[in-house]
Amino acid sequence: MKNPLTLGFSPCPNDTFMFYPLVHGLVDTGGYSFNERLEDVETLNRLAVKGVLDVTKVSYAALGHFREQYALLRAGSALGRGCGPLLVAKEPLDPAALQGKTIAIPGRYTTAHLLMRLYAPGLTTFLEMPFHEIMDAVMTGRADAGVIIHESRFTYQGFGLHQLVDLGEWWENETGLPIPLGGIVAKRSLGADTIRAIEQALADGVEYARNNPAAATQYIREHAQEMNEQVCAAHIGLYVNDFSQQLGAEGEQAIAELLRRAEAAGLVPASEAPLFI
């Protein structure tokens, strides 16, 4: 067995669902083992900026900041249609009314933040916080609006909040492409053979998880904490799809377009590094 690789992913159900087979040896890993580290996606983004982990989940917006050091894998993505971040507020406002107002975001490097900047470049006052605190911040007035992700998509109406913009829908209408939220990257220094072996193992793991959806139930529940079963199932159903198993040409095009627009807006540094090994 080779030396273990450090592997970062979030405790969100879509990630624990997909990674369960890989970290529990239910698929052929090519002799590789993994020491997993579960963190909020913005924490993972910042760890990748510092080059801490060998393989990790990151926001696609964050990839623009370290693609010289990390290559993208074609498996394990959160990418699709009807799954983008939502801009919400206590009242059904015109987003133009948010000029000069404070908008809560789930982190500087998140795709949610990047989409907000692309959608409304004039909005520049942002308050960073963990994603699960955003709805409370809007409800209590700490923020005038918030960009929500993950399971908040399914629960915000129960908190009396109103959707102002579906940023994923905006992206789809603008580009005709699915919205690339997050993906898996590996250090280029691992080498092409290792990276391809990890990519294949992850793709096999996603296939295993989709064919055996009950296998990871306990593992998912351990990390989902207070999320109820219905929301947990809806979360997995929304964020784990065919793109998760294999990006395909459309998925790759969506990622390239997001990074192209981010570069053009000066929100990520320009890079000639290829996305994939």
Residues of the binding site for substrate = 57-59, 111-112
Torsion of CA 201, 207, 208, 210, to 10 degrees: 150
Q: Interhelix angle for 111-119 vs 248-264, to 10°?
A: 60
Say which of 150, 162, 223, 235 is annotated catalytic: 150
* 107-119 residues labelled b (16+ CB within 10 A) or e (exposed): bbbbbbbbbbbbb
Q: Which residues are annotated as a binding site?
A: 57-59, 111-112
CA separation for the pair 65, 244 (Å, rounded): 22
CB hemisphere CA count around 214 (13 angstroms) = 0
Whether 150 sits among the annotated catalytic residues: the reply is yes
Cβ distance 243 to 206 under 8 Å? no
* 12-41 residues labelled b (16+ CB within 10 A) or e (exposed): bbbbbbbbbbbbeebbebeebebebebbbb
3-state SS, residue 204: helix
Give the residue numbers marked as catalytic.
150
